[in-house]
Amino acid sequence: MLNRRTVLATGAIAVPLSTPLGALAQGRKDAVTLAMTLEPPGLDPTAGAASAIAEIVQYNIFETLTKINADGTVAPLLAESWEVSPDLKTYTFKLRRGVKFQNGEPFNANTVKFAFDRAGGEKSTNKDKRTFAGLTTQVVDDYTVVLLNKEIDPDLLFVLGQATSIIVEPKSVDTNATKPVGTGPYQLQAWNKGSSVVLTAWDGYRDAKAIKIKRATFRFIADPAAQVAALLAGDVDAFPRVTPRSVAQFKANPKFQVVVSGSRAKTILAMNNAKKPLDDVRVRRAIAAAIDRKAVIEGAGDGYGAPIGSHYVPGAFGYVDTTGINPFDIEKSKRLLAEAGIKTPLELTLTLPPPPYARQGGEVIAAQLAKVGIIAKIQNVEWAQWLSGTYGNKNYDLTIISHVEPFDLGNFAKPDYYWGYNSPKFNDLFNQIKNSARPADRARLLGEAQRLLANESVHGFLYSNQWITVANKNLKGLWKDMPVFVNDISALSWT
């Protein structure tokens, strides 16, 4: 992982600030350099939860049956078409013909069955294992596959377009983390650990002639100041989800385009519900009441974000406004701590991964908690440490993290999830949501689930992110909104 730094030092040759961006682009009309805040721990999205994996490989190296578009709609990808049964439990897919994997093996219904059986199998490390465990995959012929779902899931076609649903080739699955093999338009050329990943267009792709970008370099730049410097220097052509700092200067510069994207991301102050005293709802409510969401949005996201009161975002189906359930109220926070028998100062660890929203937001929240007698001891960790210690081993009290998946309410029904939340009432509600065929019933139940999570103050629900992309004005095809974290290189081109 990159360390925090104030100068750009990623192994590349620095370009003088005076170099015109247009001149740089002239010699590389078929190449692009993108930047990311975090480096992924591997390149197999079925083996890890880090969203940075999909940012590189999804739709570029690996493909899925369906494809999620920037507006959140679902389109065919490896599946040409599908039919859904009236009871919403049987999906019949017609697969695309003439597709092969980058190792020469054919894509067909058997590979789909292998991928989904593996994703739901006993040894699966797929973070959506529960979804796939509920699916039965039947091969009808080489290009027809049927999925039988134990539950009704109106979002299944969307889920099948996410990175956890990639179709993998059986002979290469064990090495996909470092040598990914997919059916997509790009293949891995190099991974320079700590610096960059380079993808090149694959000549064997079924529509290789339509791919305009032949080489894509992903550079990892964690420090906000270095992110700005890289863009200004022309070292980077586009920085999706860049730090919001200095957006004004890019908006005022005619060499750049600035895209403000909506998202389904939920940034939360996650609480370890299984640890004392956070297992007491009064303590969790006290923490929520001590937080001024608007101040956090200013400090963590430079004002880009919408307050949320539960694990759901404005605009999503069934959304209800729950921000009034746990409003900012310092005196109420102090009363709740006293009712819970908490002697202040109460010391809790606040574990912060590298993204600027977490580090900057952590400083704001620590200051707010201090006003009610809670001492948040900040522990800055690298991404790999957060994944292993916080997410994997549940070794934390509080942490700030953005959950970017659109449909992840089901995580609250997983008692072994890193939050340590176990509510029979929520489990029953979520089961009803999954099995409600009528949209009106589902919307009502979703509202009940949101209110339950807010009333139980499972977390300090902070805001829904607005992501900023800064790019060279001549780069076309960037996503306007980001329902999922991907960088679809095949959609890019230079004017």
CA distance 351 to 392: 14
The series of mean pLDDT values per 10 residues for the chain, 495 residues long, is 31 33 53 96 93 96 96 95 94 98 98 98 93 97 97 91 97 97 98 97 96 98 94 96 87 95 92 98 98 96 94 93 97 98 97 94 98 98 95 97 89 94 96 88 96 98 94 95 92 96
What pTM did the predictor assign? 0.80
Q: How far apart are CA 228 and CA 26, in angstroms?
A: 22
Q: Which residues contact 411 (CB under 8 A, 6 or more apart)?
A: 403, 417, 419
How many angstroms separate the CA atoms of 167 and 80, rounded?
15
Are 88 and 421 in contact by the 8 Å Cβ rule? The answer is: no
Q: Give the CA count within 13 Å in the CB-facing half-sphere of 381.
A: 22
Instruction: Give the per-residue pLDDT at 263.
Output: 86
Burial class (CB in 10 A: 0-12, 13-18, 19+), 200: middle
Find where tokens 């999906």 sit.
Answer: 91
Q: How confident is the model at residue 28, as a pLDDT?
A: 54
The 3 state secondary structure assigned to the chain is CCCCCCCCCCCCCCCCCCCCHHHHHHCCCCEEEEEECCCCCCCCCCCCCCHHHHHHHECCCECCCEEECCCCCEEECCEEEEEECCCCCEEEEEECCCCECCCCCECCHHHHHHHHHHHCCCCCCCCCHHHHHCEEEEEEECCEEEEEECCCCCCHHHHCCCHHHCCCCHHHHHHCCCCCCCCCCEEEEEEECCCEEEEEECCCCCCHHHCCCCEEEEEECCCHHHHHHHHHHCCCCEEEEECCCCHHHHHCCCCEEEEEECECCEEEEEECCCCCCCCCHHHHHHHHHCCCHHHHHHHHHCCCEEECCCCCCCCCCCCCCCCCCCCCCHHHHHHHHHHCCCCCCEEEEEEECCCHHHHHHHHHHHHHHHCCCEEEEEEECCHHHHHHHHHHCCCCCEEEEEECCCCCHHHHHCCCCCCCCCCHHHHHHHHHHHCCCCHHHHHHHHHHHHHHHHHCCCCEEEEEECEEEEEECCEECCCCCECCCCCCHHHCEEC
φ, ψ at 64 (rounded to 5°): -125, 170
For position 278, what pLDDT does the model report?
Answer: 98
Among the listed residues 157, 152, 145, 156, the one whose alpha carbon sits nearest the alpha carbon of residue 107? 145
What single-letter amino acid sits at 441? D
The β-bridge relationship of strands 90-95 and 135-141 is: unpaired
pLDDT at 15: 29
How many angstroms separate the CA atoms of 225 and 243, rounded?
9
Is residue 389 within 8 Å of 395, Cβ to Cβ? yes
Q: Quick one: CA torsion of 240, 243, 244, 250, rounded to 10 degrees?
A: -70
**CB 56, CB 199: distance < 8 Å:** yes
Question: Shortest CA distance to 383 belongs to which of 399, 366, 363?
Answer: 399
| Cα distance between residue 466 and residue 145, in whole Å | 38
- Distance from C-alpha of 431 to C-alpha of 414, rounded to nearest angstrom: 12
Among 442, 131, 458, 446, smallest CA distance to 312 is for 446
| DSSP β-ladder status, 398-403 and 460-465 | unpaired
Q: State the pLDDT at residue 197.
A: 98
Q: Taking the CA of residue 379 as centre, how many other CA atoms within 13 Å lie in the half-sphere pointing to its CB?
A: 16
Give the alpha-carbon dihedral of 375, 380, 386, 392, to 10 degrees.
Answer: -40
